[in-house]
Amino acid sequence: MATQNLQHPTRMKAIRQSIRQFVMQKIAGFNADQEEFVFIAPAKCRITSAKIVSDTGSATSTNTNKWTLDLQNKSESDDSLCSTPQATYQDSAVNEWTEDTEWDLAVDQNNDLDAGDVIELVITKGGTATSQATAEFVIMIEYVLK
């Protein structure tokens, strides 16, 4: 009887939606604008968070010399998943990423995906932002199936 209760479609959907899943993707350093593939939705899902970790900190950013990181759904007209793409200088304050520390990309919109949607990290260099060419990054995407 207990097995039959677990196999009920409504219960199975609730269980599936409560299991958080993660994917991690390594990204080589960068020193210019670029786009990096980070995720293909395996099924209908919702991205609940995205964080990046670097082995090197960003340094000396200003309002014109900064890095901006955004997640975009390339399958949906480049829809941004972040209403405010994260920058190393933001809102009149330095917002550097720190060595070996999670840096939240603040996913807060367009995060319901269809199977096969392709998500890319869009990296934009502002002015003469400090080179990250020798840095190594890992992006961690957390999602739940729908």
Give the domain ranges of the chain: 21-145
Among candidate residues 39, 24, 19, 40, the one with its CA nearest the CA of residue 145 = 19
What is the C-alpha to C-alpha distance for residues 29 and 80, in angstroms, rounded to an integer?
22
Q: For 83-138, write each residue's pLDDT tens digit.
A: 999 888 776 677 888 889 899 999 999 999 999 999 999 999 999 888 899 999 99
Domain 21-145 falls in which CATH fold? Jelly Rolls (2.60.120)
Q: For 14-41, write each residue's pLDDT tens digit.
A: 776 778 899 999 999 999 999 999 999 9
Q: Is the pLDDT of residue 2 over 70?
A: no
Q: How confident is the model at residue 82 (pLDDT cuts 50, 70, 90)?
A: very high
- Residue 113 backbone dihedrals phi, psi, to 5 degrees: -115, 150
**pLDDT score, position 1:** 47
Q: For 41-75, write each residue's pLDDT tens digit.
A: 999 999 999 999 999 888 778 888 889 999 999 99
What is the C-alpha to C-alpha distance for residues 95 and 139, in angstroms, rounded to an integer?
18
Q: Which helix (H) or strand (E) covers residue 4, if one does?
A: helix 2-6
**pLDDT score, position 121:** 95
